[in-house]
């Protein structure tokens, strides 16, 4: 399972980028909610260690357990349904002893690993209707379990990751264009129906988020309140920001105008305290890390490695886009964390684990990886 690798093949750039993001997260969380800073720091250290350990584990051996990975993922999601903790109307967390975690976050990584091996095994049949149908069913089961929590934002993210995975797996353009020809008009129709008063497609709070995005003035004291204040916070930071843990009375964060700023709206804290420069640093690090994953995917030695690296690159890129789009009011409120930066140990460690596998894919690019121990 372990191999002797050459140090020159280790992707130190990717390690530095995700470590810097995690460090920024710890710093920003210390300002947003100081009582959680130490917990996030411990999570970052544990996640970093897991990443390094997994980077030396031959992913091909672990992927042989791909059906066990898939079954374990479904088990965790089913646990949410039966013993999940309810928080603000959503049942997304499982508490086992002193440990509380969110299976929908681990599901993203586990599904990437499962499909990496599944597509590798059936890569010659990837462009047949039969195999595509099987893939849709396999992603559909966990998707329904996540959607029913309810967690629309993560269920959308799972579909995005699935699309990236299938593209990396070599699905033909005729299927991609065919899917777009169906999905785009369908989405327009669904959104048009969803904003109607008597619609049955979305939950009330999900519908209100869309309506708040369309007409923020009407919902300025309700669903649009968070996002409007987030935009104000980011804009008030201007070029250099107001300073870390500043005590200015004009601070949106200090006035508690952004609830749960340490999670989904951590980017607004960074924007207010570190300004445009701080925002650019975070965006560049996230996009550079995503592009590095894509570069690893292009050089992977096999299909499973390509899918792992591309899947993680897609997760970092699109989830970052959704999160930052929400905090800047370019998108409706989705409730997705900013990878490596937002508070949340499940999300943080899941991202580190995913990057650990990407690092191993990069190490195995070289044929001179050494002999098995």
Which pLDDT belongs to residue 272? Answer: 92
Which pLDDT belongs to residue 3? Answer: 62
Which pLDDT belongs to residue 88? Answer: 63
Which pLDDT belongs to residue 224? Answer: 82
Which pLDDT belongs to residue 368? Answer: 43
pLDDT in tens, 319-365: 999 999 999 998 888 889 999 999 989 999 999 999 999 999 999 87
pLDDT in tens, 47-61: 999 999 999 999 999
Which pLDDT belongs to residue 1? Answer: 53
pLDDT in tens, 223-233: 788 888 899 88
Which pLDDT belongs to residue 372? Answer: 37
The residue ranges of the chain whose pLDDT is under 70 are 1-4, 87-90, 194, 200-201, 366-373
- Structural domain boundaries in the chain: 7-363
Q: Assign 3-class secondary structure to the chain.
A: CEECCCHHHCCHHHHHHHHHHHHHHHHHHHHHCHHHHHHHHHHHHHHHHHHHHHHCECHHHHHHHHHHHHHHHHHHHHHHHHHCEEECCEEEEEEECCEEECHHHHHHHHHHHHHHHHHHHCHHHCCCHHHHHHHHHHHHHHHHHHHCCCCHHHHHHHHHHHHHHHHHCCCCHHHHHHHHHHHHHHHHHHHHHHCCCCCCCCCHHHHHHHHHHHCCCCCCCCCCHHHHHHHHHHHHCCCCCCCCCCCCCCCCCCCCCCCCCCCCCHHHHHHHHHHHHHHHHHHHHHHHHHHHHHHHHHHCCCHHHHHHHHHHHHHHHHHHHHHHHHHCCCCCCCCCCCCCCCCCHHHHHHHHHHHHHHHHHHHCCCCCCCCEC
């Amino acid at each position: 399972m372990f191999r002797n690798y050459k140090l020159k093949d280790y992707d130190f750039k990717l390690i530095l980028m995700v470590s810097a993001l995690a460090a920024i997260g710890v710093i920003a969380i210390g300002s947003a909610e100081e009582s959680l800073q130490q917990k996030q720091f411990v999570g970052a250290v544990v996640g970093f260690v897991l990443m390094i350990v997994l980077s030396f584990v031959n992913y091909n051996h672990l992927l042989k357990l791909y059906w066990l990975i898939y079954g374990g993922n479904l088990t965790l999601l089913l646990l949410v349904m039966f013993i999940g903790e309810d928080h603000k109307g959503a049942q997304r967390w499982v508490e086992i002893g002193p440990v509380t975690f969110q299976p929908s976050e681990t599901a993203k990584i586990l599904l990437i690993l499962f499909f990496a091996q599944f597509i590798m095994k059936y890569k010659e049949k990837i462009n047949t209707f039969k195999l595509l149908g099987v893939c849709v069913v396999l992603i559909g089961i966990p998707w329904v379990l996540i959607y029913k929590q309810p967690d629309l934002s993560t269920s959308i993210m799972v579909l995005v990751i699935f699309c990236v995975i299938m593209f990396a797996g070599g699905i033909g353009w005729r299927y991609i264009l065919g899917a777009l020809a169906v999905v785009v008009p369908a989405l327009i129709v669904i959104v048009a129906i969803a904003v109607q008063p008597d619609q049955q497609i979305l939950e009330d709070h999900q519908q209100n988020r869309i309506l708040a995005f369309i007409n923020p003035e009407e919902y300025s004291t309700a669903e649009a309140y968070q996002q409007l204040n987030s935009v104000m916070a980011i804009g008030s930071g201007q070029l250099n920001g107001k300073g870390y843990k500043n005590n200015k009375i004009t601070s949106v964060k200090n006035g508690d105008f952004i609830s749960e700023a340490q999670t989904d709206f951590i980017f607004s804290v960074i924007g207010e305290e570190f300004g445009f420069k701080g925002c650019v640093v975070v965006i560049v690090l996230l996009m550079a890390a995503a592009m590095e994953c894509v570069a690893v995917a292009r050089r992977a030695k096999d299909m499973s490695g390509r899918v792992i690296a591309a899947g993680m690159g897609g997760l970092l890129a699109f989830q970052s886009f959704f999160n930052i789009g929400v905090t800047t009011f370019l998108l409706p409120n989705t409730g997705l964390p900013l990878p490596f930066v937002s508070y949340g140990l499940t999300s943080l460690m899941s991202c580190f684990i995913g990057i650990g596998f990407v690092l191993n894919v990069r190490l195995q690019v070289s044929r001179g990886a050494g002999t098995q121990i």
